[in-house]
Amino acid sequence: MELDKAIKERHSVRKFSDKKPNWRKIIECIDAARYASMAGNNYTLKFIMIDDEEKINKISEACQQPFISKAKFLVVACSNPSRTVNEYGKSGEAWTRQQAGAAIQNFILKIVESGLSTCWIGYFVEEHIKKVLDIPKEINVEAVFPIGFEFEKPKTRRLKIDLDRILYFNKYGNVKMKSPKSAD
């Protein structure tokens, strides 16, 4: 699948079929995250892949979203900001979150390319997830991703926002690009 197609076909899936994905495909998707930009080459993101039903159910409760319990696999993305903060000070905290987002986007696009589906879950009780997965307190839980095969393809796709509503030129709010001066 081409990148443009994966970008345009990506959507959040909250209903999965009973078919269990091949765990090796999920690992290939996690591998794509390694190629995201990282401040100072300090790779801060870690992934935990879960297929234990009891843990999946407990994490579903921590997210307060029952559909998560129907997924055959979960991937939890975590980050350790310590090296980036040590290197760059307070800015390192923001950069850790930014690079987590970049790596997660690579992961999600690879999920789409692989024919799998997911939903980026950012609402959860972090302490509960840390307890279930034995995650140390200094580690941030960035997101939870239920993974499976989509139960049914959506009949219609929601259109994304028009480009001219999010693109400005040379200053905030300027919607027109200056015409280049001709060479004559």
Mean pLDDT for the chain? 89
Q: Note the helical H segments in the chain.
A: 3-9, 23-33, 53-63, 82-88, 91-113, 126-133
Cα 74 from Cα 69, distance rounded (Å): 9
Q: What confidence tier does 166 reach under pLDDT thresholds 50, 70, 90?
A: confident
Domains (range + CATH), the chain: 5-9+13-154 (3.40.109.10)
> Which token pair is 177?
């690009």
Stretch 4-19: mean pLDDT, rounded?
85
Q: What percent of the chain has pLDDT over 70?
A: 93
What is the tens place of the pLDDT at every residue in 138-156? 999 999 999 999 987 765 5
pTM score: 0.85
What is the tens place of the pLDDT at every residue in 77-110? 999 998 888 889 999 888 999 999 999 999 999 9
* Predicted local distance difference test score (pLDDT) of residue 2: 87
* Predicted local distance difference test score (pLDDT) of residue 155: 59
Q: Which of 47-56, 82-91, 103-112, 166-175 has the lowest mean pLDDT?
A: 166-175
Q: Which of 30-34, 84-88, 119-123, 158-162 has the lowest mean pLDDT?
A: 158-162
Among residues 148, 49, 144, 72, the alpha carbon closest in space to that of 104 is found at 144
* Predicted local distance difference test score (pLDDT) of residue 152: 75
Residue 182 has pLDDT above 60, yes or no: no
The neighbour count for residue 162, using CB atoms within 10 Å, is 8
